[in-house]
Amino acid sequence: MFEILKKEELAPEIYLIEVKAEEVAKKALPGQFVIIRVDEVGERIPLTIVDFKSQNKSITLVFQAVGKTTKKLASLKVGDKIVDLVGPLGKPTEIKKYGKVICVAGGIGAAPIFPIARELKRAKNYVITILGARSKELLILEGNLLAVSHELHITTDDGSKGRHGLVTDALKELIKENKVDLVIAIGPAIMMKFVSEVTKPEKIKTIVSLNPIMVDGTGMCGACRVEVGEKTKFCCVDGPDFDGHLVDWNLLLSRQKVYLEEEKIALESLSEKAS
């Protein structure tokens, strides 16, 4: 059992929880994730590790309450316990001195990009972060990202804060103004696809973090398979970081829709139980 030590609502339906997990906190690195099961009858879902504190034996997770399991998780309070938590899983993000790096975070992607930006800055890179969301109410971790970036650019789809437009609009301008050595993008798959399309003609190395359907997190089930460079890869053991210019985005986007009907039924059953 893994106790929830802290819980905070960062934005509507977006939550931060700090969970006691001593062994995971000791070994976690930026880019890695855990797989959790809320209760004995629950499904397994992956969540990226946002922060890890070995001194108080805890890790920080951020999630959006959109499906049955994340809504169950959101219903838990400080002191409640998660039945299963396995990790750290996946290969950590490669941290070294690249030069000038642009970190592009879309929506909840701000959470996993935070520890990466922090370590890239510590590695003496010049870190520019683009933080985007649909509206200012959905922007999260702005202060955290400001603290670990040399520059922070904000975009909102509706223009309620920062630049009116998409993260790719800001990215195009920054590429024109700077010699960029690396781009790291984390967020919705469609956003990462378009970021990769912006950087490919400029031949800028682009790393994306993929979070498709996962079950066991050890490469056994094959649910998280993706096509990268025309080869089958498993996000849980080969990733989650991949070269954005080699990902088959159309296949990934189509696979993300496979269980939409089942997710709808699960949510309906949860609502019926609640009522």
- Alpha helices (H) in the chain, listed in sequence order: 22-27, 68-75, 110-122, 142-147, 167-177, 189-199, 235-238, 249-255, 260-274
Same domain, 121 and 76: no
Same domain, 83 and 131: no
**Cβ(60)–Cβ(85) below 8 Å:** no
In whole angstroms, what is the distance from residue 241 CA to residue 32 CA? 9
Beta bridge partners of residue 130, listed in sequence order = 104, 153
Same domain, 176 and 85: no
Same domain, 186 and 105: yes
Tokens of 162: 């920062």
Instruction: Give the pLDDT score at 165.
Output: 94
User: Could you read off the pLDDT of 118-174 as tens digits, one per residue?
Assistant: 999 999 999 999 999 999 999 999 999 999 999 999 999 999 999 999 999 999 999
Number of structural domains (the chain) is 2
* 41 assigned to some structural domain: yes
Give the length of the chain: 275
Boundary (domain end) residue, out of 89, 117, 152: 89
| Percent of residues, the chain, with pLDDT higher than 90 | 72
Boundary (domain end) residue, out of 41, 56, 89: 89
Instruction: Give the pLDDT score at 216.
Output: 66
Same domain, 51 and 118: no
**Cβ(108)–Cβ(10) below 8 Å:** no
Q: What CATH number does the domain containing 25 carry?
A: 2.40.30.10
* 220 assigned to some structural domain: no
Same domain, 63 and 84: yes
* 63 assigned to some structural domain: yes
* 265 assigned to some structural domain: no
Q: List the one residue out of 36, 25, 60 whose CA is nearest residue 141.
A: 60
Q: What CATH number does the domain containing 203 carry?
A: 3.40.50.80
Same domain, 127 and 82: no
Same domain, 139 and 162: yes
DSSP 3-state assignment of 138? helix
* 259 assigned to some structural domain: no
Boundary (domain end) residue, out of 209, 233, 257: 209
Same domain, 108 and 48: no
In whole angstroms, what is the distance from residue 36 CA to residue 66 CA? 16
Going by pLDDT thresholds of 50, 70 and 90, the confidence category of residue 82 is: very high
Query: What residues make up the domain containing 114?
Result: 100-209
262 phi, psi to nearest 5 deg = -65, -40
Beta bridge partners of residue 17, listed in sequence order = 7, 61
User: Could you read off the pLDDT of 173-230 as tens digits, one per residue?
Assistant: 999 999 999 999 999 999 999 999 999 999 999 999 987 666 667 777 777 888 999 9
Same domain, 108 and 83: no
Reported pTM:
0.89
* 109 assigned to some structural domain: yes
Residue 131: C-alpha distances to residues 49, 153, 223 (Å): 18, 6, 30
Instruction: Give the pLDDT score at 54.
Output: 72
* 251 assigned to some structural domain: no
